[in-house]
Structure 1
Amino acid sequence: MRSDYKELDNEKIYLVTGAAGFIGFHLSKRLLDEGCHVIGIDNLNDYYDVNLKKARLEIINKYDKFKFFKIDLQDKEFLEEIFKEHKIDIVVNLAAQAGVRYSITNPDVYIQSNIVGFLNILEVCRHYKVEHLVYASSSSVYGMNEVMPFSVHHNVDHPISLYAATKKSNELMAHTYSHLYNLPTTGLRFFTVYGPWGRPDMALFLFTDAIMNDKPIKVFNHGKMKRDFTYIDDIVEGIVRLLNNPPKENKEWDKIKADPGTSSAPYKIYNIGNNKPVELMEYIQTIEKHLGKEAKKEYLPLQDGDVPMTYADVDDLIDDVGFKPDTSINEGISKFVEWYKEYYEV
């Protein structure tokens, strides 16, 4: 752990974009439980069930120290008003158009949300002297890279979906602002996040819903895919530990070797993953076990934009903030199934 490591400071004001989203909701709730002031923003779009987003929001809206604004990140004027009105110390940008497969059929949405929206966040962080910008990247940036485990020190110049390309673009844009304006930025490459209140377009939700309703599940790559499934609480713990530990310039950064994971600017990238890939069939069998019901399976080839395997190297996370995600899929899926049954009154 870094010698200058700082615990979470609950005197700071945190702005969380995508606060009604899966990760944004869990992070906001954790910060509020720790006594922090949180400003949440979300456009509540209909990419998936808006009622699920509203139900999440209902929970965090009960906290006195939470303030919510319905806003699209493309609305720069509204965004500036929020920053003028509130002295925001730290920004966590989790708002984005998600989904690898959706990006193949709806490319325009990704440019507006993930590129234009992110530029607006960078601009307000710069002008209003934010102490630290933490933003969501994705394991999908590793693209065609097959060197395992995926390391932040690897080259990631070969994305295979527009979604991945926008996330890589975010990292490049953040680096530029770190270099030009000395804005500390931390990019987080999340690896297949799952858990209670998860997104309905993700495998765990889709599989559980289909099995419960006697519908077949689509098993891509004939179940031979491996994913570094990472439980939501581990993702949140990683974020929380990094919030008050902004990156500093790496004075030993070598311009010849040009390590992509760090920089001479106050810029850093971390993987947050379970560091233990699980085959899709094992994941499905664990869901079946906790539902007490077997899935009807439709085996299909690997889809465009999908990679056969993800596997996170989390050494930098361990070295800098002393944390390694370790929730097993058995424990994580059990908690999701419990939530699903309660939420849908199964």
Structure 2
Amino acid sequence: MKVLVTGAAGFIGYHVARRLLERGDEVVGIDSVNAYYDPGIKEGRLKLLQEFNKTNNSGFHFIRANLADRAAVKSCFAEHNFDRVIHLAAQAGVRFSLENPHAYVESNIIAFTNIIEACRHASVAHLTYASTSSVYGANTNMPFSEHRPADHPLQFYAATKRANELMAHSYSHLFRLPTTGLRFFTVYGPWGRPDMALFLFTRNILAGLPIKLFNNGNHTRDFTFVEDIAEGVVRASDQPATPNDAWDSSNPDSSTSNAPWRVFNIGNNNPVKLTDYVMALEAALGRRAIVELLPLQAGDVPDTFADTSALEQAVGYRPGTSVPEGVGRFVDWYQAYFGGSAFR
């Protein structure tokens, strides 16, 4: 198939594009390669995709463009006829949304509108897009289930991603465009984002600096290894959403519809205490962390736990990477990527 992967220079986007190329699909990647975090890491991911393309004579083509630019999106769809679209580009980061909400409107609302409108006019067979576990917000009934409402987000970032799910439903209803939203749960692994906890913890432990554990380290997270995530994304994309004929408008299921629309949790289904996550990192590094315990931050959710039974039943997805194994693979990548600079 020919697949558009937006955010192809991003953390998850890179791994999804690589997975598609490895199985023989043609991939068009699009990314603005902005400076929200070190563009050098994004360029490094792109270089690997281009090297894979050259070595294996695979079909990878990259477009450097901002998806909020409607003309650029229209040009991309005019040039290419896509069998699938996997939309992973977004402005990420819970805490940054407290400081710069306009970036989230541009990247998560305007860009999403441009993509879904292009998919509509091109009659794309299936749009799969990134949502987030953060949409569960104030919910405390765990494990988080797609079948329950998610209407109380605690940050603007989560509100924009929930808006994407609702926007997608309107297009699935009005234009019968099949759409699948994937609510990611704490993704980690090689080529990760420098603003995420594992990256920050690793850097500070190696430098002999304290690591900050908010909520006094009492968070639990459904940490999910990025290659497991990529496999789940590809499998979900392969099977277009269809209407749920049993959907009851008088007792609506929040995860499906009588339109070709659905949302899935995509996580490890195994919450881990943040302190245990740190212990796995200490074991991989062979060093002890200096820990600074701090109160809960504004917008933080204390715990996440994914009920992933719906996705497993639909596409046969079940992650298989334990936290100690995944953290160890991240540390191997980190030390190889940064070399001696990792220890300064």
Distance 2:315 2:16 in 1: 17
Distance 1:199 1:244 in 2: 27
Q: 2:328 matched to 1:339? A: no
Residue deviations 1:209-259, cap 9 Å, x none?
Answer: 111111111110011000000000110111111112011111111001111
Distance 2:312 2:15 in 1: 22
CA RMSD of aligned residues (A): 0.7
- SS of 2:284's partner is helix
Q: 2:27 matched to 1:33? A: no
Distance 1:65 1:210 in 2: 39
Residue deviations 1:140-195, cap 9 Å, x none?
Answer: 00000000000000110100000000000000000000000000000000000000
Q: 2:44 matched to 1:50? A: no
Distance 1:89 1:73 in 2: 19
Question: What's the offset of the Cα at 1:78?
Answer: 1.2
Sequence identity percentage: 54
- 1:59-138 counterparts in 2 under 5 A? 59-62=48-51, 63=53, 64-138=58-132
Distance 1:291 1:277 in 2: 22
TM-score, normalised with respect to structure 2: 0.96
Letter of the 1:155 counterpart: P
Query: Is the CA contact (8 Å cut-off) linking 1:318 and 1:324 kept in structure 2?
Result: yes
Q: Give the match for residue 206 of structure 1.
A: 200
2:228 to 224, 228, 234: 234
2:316 to 314, 322, 325: 322
Letter of the 2:186 counterpart: T
Distance 1:319 1:28 in 2: 24
- 1:272-311 counterparts in 2 under 5 A? 272-311=266-305
Letter of the 2:271 counterpart: P
Query: Is the CA contact (8 Å cut-off) linking 1:190 and 1:273 kept in structure 2?
Result: yes
- SS of 2:339's partner is coil
Question: What's the offset of the Cα at 1:61?
Answer: 1.4
What number of residue pairs does the alignment pair up? Answer: 335
Q: Gaps (5+ residues) in structure 2?
A: none
- SS of 2:327's partner is helix
Q: Which runs of 4+ in 1 moved over 3 A?
A: none
- 1:200-279 counterparts in 2 under 5 A? 200-279=194-273
Distance 1:303 1:150 in 2: 21
Distance 1:242 1:105 in 2: 33
Letter of the 2:225 counterpart: Y
Letter of the 2:207 counterpart: N
- 1:145-184 counterparts in 2 under 5 A? 145-184=139-178
TM-score, normalised with respect to structure 1: 0.96
Distance 1:121 1:323 in 2: 26
Distance 1:277 1:36 in 2: 34
Distance 1:74 1:328 in 2: 37
Q: 2:179 matched to 1:185? A: yes
Distance 2:201 2:303 in 1: 19
Q: Gaps (5+ residues) in structure 1?
A: 1-11
- SS of 1:123's partner is helix
Distance 2:67 2:194 in 1: 23
Q: 2:11 matched to 1:22? A: yes
Distance 2:91 2:312 in 1: 29
Question: What's the offset of the Cα at 1:135?
Answer: 0.1
Distance 1:194 1:231 in 2: 5
Question: What's the offset of the Cα at 1:71?
Answer: 0.5
Query: Is the CA contact (8 Å cut-off) linking 1:223 and 1:281 kept in structure 2?
Result: yes
Query: Is the CA contact (8 Å cut-off) linking 1:219 and 1:299 kept in structure 2?
Result: yes
- SS of 1:344's partner is helix
Letter of the 2:139 counterpart: N
Question: What's the offset of the Cα at 1:326?
Answer: 2.9
Distance 2:64 2:246 in 1: 43
- SS of 1:61's partner is helix
Distance 2:165 2:23 in 1: 29
- SS of 1:163's partner is helix
Distance 1:49 1:329 in 2: 26
